[in-house]
């Protein structure tokens, strides 16, 4: 009995010792490590409930997430090496841009509807911003676009810069035809369309004097096109009815279909080519990190607990 009791105590001590021993890291990327507990938290944030999946499907999702985390750790490692950090102002500006006019509560509800937690969304935003800063710091010297490349692109892709016939116009919107006719009489007496639009129009563009900018046929409702593209320049239309009310239109300029001049699109082409080069350089940079950074995954820890 004493021997059995002693063996039992030894087994309990061994089990307790084993439980106290920390698990080895699940993932090692260079000098960075990720524990199983950290990975499981990432998994819950990314896929809130995978219990309905088979063990094989769960394993595939885990492997897919691990690939993403490897890239993340590579980028974070480079950020640390290059001493690249996000400032609070940069994060606040990005948050304000993404949220737009939504309040924090409204935005939280939208995230909840997409199935994403605020924690996972914020982590993804920070990673995206940091990735941009790291790649910019590492790749900017390598990514250059010169005038010859821009000119060559313009000549080779001329169809991309052909524009249809366009007009530049202004509008005013009123609740009734009588109100529209009253302002029309003021215009016929020499009133300024832009000023009257700011004072009387019910349309949101009244702050810009009713300016609609340049547009081509088909961009506005059909009933508008039928009036606008027949209206002579500097002439005001009769009231035009729509589901929104009654409109007055003024065509300021007509522009024939043709090729946009090189000077007008040079900066646009330069930006496009730079983005293309930057993206290609980033993928090459990340691939090089993947190939030169020692990475180890302890796949045994990913197996279902009953099989460990």
Rounded CA gap, 271 and 277, in Å? 10
Least confident of 7-16, 72-81, 231-240: 7-16
CA-based radius of gyration for the chain: 32
The pLDDT tens digits for 41-58 are: 888 877 777 888 888 888
List the chain domain ranges: 23-160+263-308, 165-256
Which of helix, strand or coil describes residue 240?
A: strand
Residue given tokens 């990475």 in the structure block? 295
Architecture in CATH of 23-160+263-308: Orthogonal Bundle (1.10)
Q: Whose CA is closest to 82, among 291, 279, 285?
A: 285
Q: What is the reported pTM?
A: 0.61
The pLDDT tens digits for 81-109 are: 888 888 889 988 988 888 877 777 888 88
Q: Which whole number is the average pLDDT over 257-283?
A: 92
Do 23-160+263-308 and 165-256 come out as alike in CATH topology? no
> Is the pLDDT score of 239 beyond 80?
yes
Q: Where are the alpha helices (DSSP H) in 21-54?
A: 36-46
Residue given tokens 């890291």 in the structure block? 25
Residue given tokens 């300021």 in the structure block? 252
Q: Which whole number is the average pLDDT over 281-296?
A: 91
Q: Does domain 165-256 have CATH number 3.10.50.40?
A: yes
Least confident of 1-15, 134-148, 240-254: 1-15
């Amino acid at each position: 009995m004493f021997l059995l009791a002693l063996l039992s105590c030894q087994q309990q001590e061994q089990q307790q010792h084993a439980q106290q021993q920390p698990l080895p890291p699940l993932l090692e990327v260079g000098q960075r490590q990720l524990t199983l507990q950290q990975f499981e938290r990432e998994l819950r944030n990314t896929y809130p409930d995978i219990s309905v999946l088979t063990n094989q499907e769960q394993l595939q999702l885990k492997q897919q997430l691990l690939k993403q985390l490897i890239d993340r750790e590579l980028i974070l490692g480079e950020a640390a090496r290059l001493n690249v950090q996000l400032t609070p102002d940069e994060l606040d500006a990005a948050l304000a841009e993404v949220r737009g006019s939504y309040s924090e509560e409204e935005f939280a509800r939208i995230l909840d509807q997409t199935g994403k937690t605020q924690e996972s969304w914020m982590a993804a935003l920070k990673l995206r911003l940091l990735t941009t800063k790291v790649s910019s710091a590492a790749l900017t010297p390598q990514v250059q676009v010169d005038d010859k490349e821009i000119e060559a692109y313009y000549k080779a892709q001329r169809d991309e810069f052909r524009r249809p016939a366009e007009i530049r116009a202004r509008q005013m919107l009123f609740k009734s035809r009588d109100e529209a006719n009253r302002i029309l009489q003021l215009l016929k007496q020499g009133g300024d369309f832009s000023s009257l639009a700011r004072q009387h129009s019910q349309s949101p563009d009244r702050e810009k004097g009713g300016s609609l900018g340049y547009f081509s046929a088909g961009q506005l409702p059909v009933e508008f096109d039928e009036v606008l593209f027949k209206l002579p320049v500097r002439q005001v239309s009769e009231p035009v009815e729509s589901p929104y009310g009654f409109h007055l239109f003024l065509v300021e300029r007509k522009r024939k279909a043709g090729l946009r001049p090189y000077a007008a699109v040079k900066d646009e082409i330069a930006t496009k080519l730079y983005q293309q080069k930057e993206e290609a350089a980033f993928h090459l940079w990340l691939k090089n990190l993947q190939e030169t950074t020692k990475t180890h995954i302890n796949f045994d820890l990913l197996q279902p607990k009953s099989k460990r």
